[in-house]
Structure 1
Amino acid sequence: MPDATLPTTYPTANDVADALDALRSSTPLVQSLTNLVSANFVTNVLLAAGASNAHIDNVHEAAGFAAIASGVLVNLGTPDDGTAAAFTLAAESATASGTPWVLDPVGVGGLPWRTELAAGLLTQRPTAIRGNASEIIALAGLGNFGRGVDSSSESEGALPAAVALLQFAQVVSASGAIDYIVGRGESGTVGVRVLGGSPLLTKVTATGCALGGLAAAYLAVTPSSLLGLTAAHTHVAVASELAQRNSSGPGSFAVAFLDALASITPEDIRAQARIERLDL
């Protein structure tokens, strides 16, 4: 379904800087239904960036909380029967309530039950889908999933799959060394690439999951879904570059990354963000 709020111009560093101001002034509350490995880190990233988080993933409260949250993250990292049911309840409620929600299809394609669960969640029309290249390709049915939760595909190669998934979502991103983000407005498909970031992001668990949570937060405060998803990717890219300069390895990087997410200013975004328009 086209996103009627997609801008006629592409997101710029100035737009993302304004989005950062909006995030910190409103402190959106994200409901995270995320995996056991990432729950703590997702919460810390959201708090550092300027948002807030509630980890509500049980069947008794998931739907009710999704209706009042600012945004929702549904992450398929470690599902069981209970959380799978909560995923569906939260997605249904978010869609019905107009709450923006993000589907992060961790590990999709490699395991049949998880893949079937992801396919069902697509029918609930997520606002955004965020995954690595292999996950996006597998979710679109264009290929097989790679290795574990790591990507075996380059993010640019996932562009056709990302565009195909726009039949379900307003915006889709495939992350990697370069992040690709596509959306569909009244005039057709639009997209950007976000350059930069640190390779150390792949050495710390849950950085991708945290990106999904941050996307849910930005979607709650931006006038378009394309800008919201672009802002989340840009915030992470710029913060990770700063963190790498202030760290000596993955352990110190994780701490420095949280500090950088918190300390980055709109002026830093304007000076350091690298966002390029895609010709699709």
Structure 2
Amino acid sequence: MDNNPEKWRTQAWAHLTKLRQESPLIQCITNFVSMDIMANVLLSAGASPAMIHSIDEIPEFTPKAHALCINVGTLTTDWLPAMKVAAETANKEGKPWVLDPVAAGATGFRLKACLELLGLKPCVVRGNGSEILALFKGSVDPTSKGVDSSHESTDVVEAAKSLAQLSGSVIAVSGAVDIITDGHRVVGVQNGVAMLQKITATGCSVTALIAAFIAIDPLHVIEATSSALSLFGVAAEIGMQMSNGPASLRTHLMDSLYGLDEGTVLNRVNITNL
């Protein structure tokens, strides 16, 4: 797509309209912290969440899902085999899946798990700057602060491009400017508010939203990912105008996402080729 803001905005509205019409089923294998907000963000956008993580159900259920979201936030040795089986099943069924490598560089166990999942070819990997850098370097970060990033998204563009080329996945880096790249193209999304950092699992939620948008447009992964990030950011901007702090923003974010209309999307979506 050329660098025409109107085309990005029109496409974002088309994506949201299709999502609301089709209500894709999104299976989420995610952490205990994010389950509630992730499911409610998907519902607010128009998708249908399924929080199914038992390895006993995956062979039967995952083929029914339109996309899969795997998030390693509260990772244990019990959950990892289920994540792998789900990813393998999604690949076998031709269903897109998205990886959220939460705190990938924090410990050796976590990094190894994320690299193993990366090897199963996720359609998109969405993380913050530190998480993407840890995957690219393949090493534990001794200065890691867990889920908090010590790197801006714009500082890791080259690492993200290289990781995309090595993995075959589209890499999305959250930050003040969200960066999306397939290793060649680089797209920037400039929607959102800083207060999102004060609400746990908003990053997890936008990863699930990316899975939903890819489910309805699997042939245009960069565009679908950009739409998801931008519309989530727009909803946060609108919600922030009515909020007094993180708790009220959490509520208004979902209300705003649910209520997004064409005029708002065409006026506020801010996506550009970089």
Question: Is TM-score (shorter-chain normalized) higher than 0.5?
Answer: yes
Provide the TM-score with structure 1 as the length reference: 0.92
Which residue pairs with 1:168 in the alignment? Answer: 167
Q: Does 1:192 align with 2:190?
A: no
**1:67 corresponding residue in structure 2:** 63
Structure 1 residue 178 displacement after superposition:
0.9
| Separation in structure 2 between the aligned mates of residue 111 and residue 250 of structure 1, nearest angstrom | 29
Counting aligned pairs with the same residue, the percent is: 35
How far has the Cα of 1:46 moved from its partner?
A: 0.3
Whether contact under 8 Å (1:146, 1:153) holds in the other structure is no
Aligned to 2:197: 202
By how many angstroms is 1:68 displaced?
Answer: 1.7
Deviation by residue 1:28-54 (Cα, 9 ceiling, x = unmatched) = 110000000000110000000110100
Q: Which residue of the partner structure matches residue 107 of structure 2?
A: 111
**Superimposed CA distance per residue, residues 44-87 of structure 1 (whole angstroms, 9 cap, x where no aligned partner):** 00000110100011111123322220110000101112211111
Deviation string, structure 1 residues 183-206 (Cα, Å, up to 9, x no partner): 25xxxx112100021111101111
Structure 2 unaligned regions, length at least 5? none
What is the total number of aligned residue pairs between the two structures? Answer: 267
Deviations 1:235-254 (Å, cap 9, x if unpaired)?
11100000000111111111
Query: Does residue 128 of the first structure (1) align with residue 124 of the second (2)?
Result: yes
Contact 1:172 / 1:182 at 8 angstroms: preserved in 2? yes
**1:116-168: per-residue Cα shift (whole Å, max 9, x none)?**
01111111100000001110111111773631101110101121121122132
Cα distance per residue 1:204-251 (max 9 Å; x no partner): 111000011000000011240011111110111100000000111111
The more displaced of 142-151 and 255-264 is 142-151
* Partners of 1:20 and 1:266 within 8 A in 2: no
- Range with bigger deviation, 139-148 or 71-80: 139-148
Residue 3 of structure 1: aligned partner: none
Measured after TM superposition, the shift of residue 270 of structure 1 is 1.1
User: Aligned Cα RMSD in Å?
Assistant: 1.4
Given candidates 60, 64, 78, the residue that maps to 1:82 is 78
1:151 and 2:149 are equivalent in the alignment: yes
Residue 10 of structure 2, aligned match among 9, 14, 19: 14
- Tell me the distance in 2 between the aligned counterparts of 1:152 and 1:208: 15
Instruction: State the one-letter code of the partner of 2:187.
Output: V
Check conservation: 1:107, 1:135, Cα contact below 8 A: yes
CA distance in 1, matches of 2:18, 2:236: 21
- SS in structure 2 opposite 1:220? helix
Aligned equivalent of 2:180: 181
8 Å contact kept, 2:190–2:270: yes
Instruction: Answer yes or no: is the 8 Å Cα contact 2:115–2:138 preserved in 1.
Output: no
- Which residue of the partner structure matches residue 236 of structure 2? 240
Provide the residue aligned with 1:5 in structure 2: none
- Aligned with residue 137 of structure 1, among 133, 140, 160: 133
- Runs of 4+ aligned residues of structure 1 deviating over 3 Å after TM superposition are 8-11
Determine if contact 2:163/2:171 at 8 Å carries over to the other structure.
Answer: yes
Q: 1:218 matched to which residue of 2?
A: 213
Which residue pairs with 2:225 in the alignment?
A: 229
Amino acid at match of 1:70: H
AA matched with 2:173: A
Q: Which residue type is aligned with residue 138 of structure 1? A: A
